[in-house]
Amino acid sequence: MRTVRSVDEHVAAVIALGGPLPAERVVLAAAAGRALAADVRSTVDLPPWDSSAMDGYAVRVADLGPGAVLDVVDDVPAGDTRAVEVPAGAVVRVMTGAPVPAGADAVLPVELTDGGTVRVRVDDVVAGGANVRRRGEDVRAGDVVLHAGDVVGAGAVGLLAATGHPDVEVHRRPRVAVLSTGSELVAPGDRLRHGQIHESNGPQLAAAAEAAGADVVAVEVVRDDVDGVRAALHALAARADVVVTTGGVSVGAYDVVRDALLAEGDGYLVHVRMQPGKPQAVGVLADGTPVLGLPGNPVSSFVSFEMFVRPLLRRMLGARHVHRRRLTATLADDLRSPAGRRQLLRARLDWSTGTPVAATVGGPGSHLLGALARAVALVDVPEDVTHVAAGSPVAVIDLREHW
Ligand SMILES: Nc1nc2c(c(=O)[nH]1)N[C@H]1C(S)=C(S)[C@@H](COP(=O)(O)OP(=O)(O)OC[C@H]3O[C@@H](n4cnc5c(N)ncnc54)[C@H](O)[C@@H]3O)O[C@H]1N2
Ligand code: MOO
C-alpha cells in the first residue's frame, strides 16, 4: 500500500529524518558553504584604532584656515605601530589605513594642500572628524558578528578573518551516497546497445548534493536485482549519512528499490501529489541511515532532489534556511496543469524588464532532459490549479545559490 501525501507533507516527513550534524572546527579556507555551529563574537574592535580614510595630513581642525602653512612633523604610513602625537600648530602626514595620531581630530586629504613634506600649505579646510574611521565604529570587541545557522559566504569569511578568527566551528557536511538502479544503464561514453541508456541521474544527483553542501562519498550503479540493491544499500549506508537512490520505485515488475526497502522492513512507498515525482520511497535502514528513493525519470529525480533531498541535506548541514528562495514572477505563456497534482515546471527567468518573467522550458514529460540545463527555476503550480494564463503572477522556486 502506498501512502498518499501532498508535497508539503512529504517534505515534512523527509526533513524529520535528520537534524544538524555534529560540529567540527575548520580553517577559514574550508569554511565557505558551511553553516556555523555557534555564534561568533569579534575578538577586536573594528577598526581596532582610529584609522585614516584618506592619504593626507592628520590635523587639529582649529589650526586650519585657507592659506595656513603648517609644519609636517612626522610621517605615518599604514603599518606604523608607533604612538605618534600631533602638536598644536603642526600636522603629521598619514596614509590611508594608518593610525590617526593622538591630538588630531581630522584628516585633511592631500588634494586640499600643496602636498608638502616639510611644511604644507592648506588650500581648503575640513570639519572635525572628517576622514577619521573611529575605533569600533564598525564592530565592537565581543559583538556577535555571525549567528549559529548562518551559511558562510565570501563576506562572512572576510568578517571572520578581520575579527580575528583563523578557524571556525561549523556543522559537519552530510555524507551522501548515490545509488542508481537499472539494468539499462551504462557509463557515459560507453557505446549504447539497443535498450541501453547512459547513466545520468547519478552524476546529476551527485552534483546537486555537492551544490547543497554535501560531501558525496559514492556514486554507484546496480542492476535491477533486489539482493544486489539490498547489499549496495547496506554497504553505502555504512559510509554515508544519507543514501539517495534513483529508479525502481514505481509499480513495475522490476522496481527493485521498492522491493528492497519493503524487504528491509522499515521502508514505505509514497504517492506524492506532484508532477513530476509522483512515486517516492523512503526508508530507514537497520543502522539508522535514511534512504530516499527517487523516481528514475531524469526530470523527476532532479525535481525530487530539489523538493525533498536538498531540504534534508541543508538541515543536516545546520543551515537556518533549508528551502530555496521563492519569488513571484510573471508567466510568459499559458500553462495547463493536471488537477490534484502540484506541478513543478522547469523555467528560465528573464530579468531584462527588471522584474522576473518565467518562461517554461522543455515539455511536461519527465524524460525530457534536453532543456534541463537551461532551467534556473521551477514554476510551482498548486494542486487545484489547472490553467494559468500568460501574464499572470506565478510562484517560482529560484534554483540559483544564495548565501
Ligand atoms: N503503470 C505505471 N507505470 C508508471 C507509473 C505508474 O503510476 N503506473 N508511474 C510513472 C512515473 S510518474 C514515474 S516518475 C516512473 C518512475 O519509475 P521508477 O522510479 O520505477 O523508475 P524506472 O522505471 O527505473 O525508470 C524510469 C525511467 O527513467 C530512466 N532512468 C532510470 N534511472 C536512470 C538513470 N540513473 N539515468 C538515466 N535515466 C534513468 C529509465 O530508463 C526509465 O526510462 O514510473 C512511471 N511508470
Ligand atoms: O511522477 Mo513521474 O515523475 O511524472 O514521470
DSSP of 114-156:
---SSEEEBSS---TTTTEE-TTSSB-TT-EEE-TTPBP-HHH
pLDDT digits 0-9 by tens, 103-112: 999 999 999 9
User: Residue 364 has what pLDDT?
Assistant: 79
Task: Please give the backbone phi and psi of residue 87, each rounded to the nearest 5 degrees, phi first.
Answer: -70, 155
User: Residue 251 has what pLDDT?
Assistant: 87
For ligand 1, atom 5, the nearest C-alpha belongs to 250
User: Residue 266 has what pLDDT?
Assistant: 72
298 lines ligand 1 (CB under 6 A): yes
Considering every ligand atom shown, identify the ligand nearest to the alpha carbon of residue 343 and give its number. 2
Task: Give residue 241's identity as a one-letter amino acid code.
Answer: D
User: Residue 262 has what pLDDT?
Assistant: 87
Give alpha helix (H) positions in 293-351.
298-304, 310-317
pLDDT digits 0-9 by tens, 281-305: 998 999 999 999 999 999 999 999 9
Of 255, 87, 99, 96, residue with least CA distance to 181:
255
Testing ligand 1's pocket by substitution, the residue of 250, 262, 305, 344 carrying the most ligand atoms inside 8 A of its CB is 250
Q: Which domains does the chain have, with CATH numbers?
A: 2-21+173-317 (3.40.980.10), 34-44+141-171 (no CATH), 51-133 (2.170.190.11), 326-398 (2.40.340.10)
Return the DSSP state at 309.
I
User: Residue 61 has what pLDDT?
Assistant: 98
| pLDDT tens series, the chain, 403 aa | 689 999 999 999 999 999 999 999 999 999 999 999 999 999 999 999 999 999 999 999 999 999 999 999 999 999 999 999 999 999 999 999 999 999 999 999 999 999 999 999 999 999 999 999 999 999 999 999 999 999 999 999 999 999 999 999 999 999 999 999 999 999 999 999 999 999 999 999 999 999 999 999 999 999 999 999 999 999 999 999 999 999 999 988 989 999 999 888 777 899 999 999 999 999 899 999 999 999 999 999 999 999 999 999 999 999 999 999 999 999 999 999 999 999 999 999 999 999 999 999 998 789 999 999 999 999 999 999 999 999 999 999 999 987 5
Of 358, 361, 365, 363, residue with least CA distance to 391:
358
pTM, two decimals, is: 0.94
Of 376, 377, 345, residue with least CA distance to 362:
345
For ligand 2, atom 4, the nearest C-alpha belongs to 276
246 lines ligand 2 (CB under 6 A): no
Cell of 149: 545557522
20 lines ligand 1 (CB under 6 A): no
User: Residue 403 has what pLDDT?
Assistant: 57
Find how far residue 218's CA is from the centre of its chain.
22
Of 256, 287, 122, residue with least CA distance to 180:
256
The packing angle between helices 310-317 and 7-15, to 10°, is: 30
User: Residue 72 has what pLDDT?
Assistant: 98
Provide the pairing of β-strand 393-398 with 377-381: antiparallel
- Distance of CA 295 from the midpoint of ligand 1 (Å): 6
Largest CA distance in the chain: 95
User: Residue 281 has what pLDDT?
Assistant: 95
Beta bridge partners of 327: 396
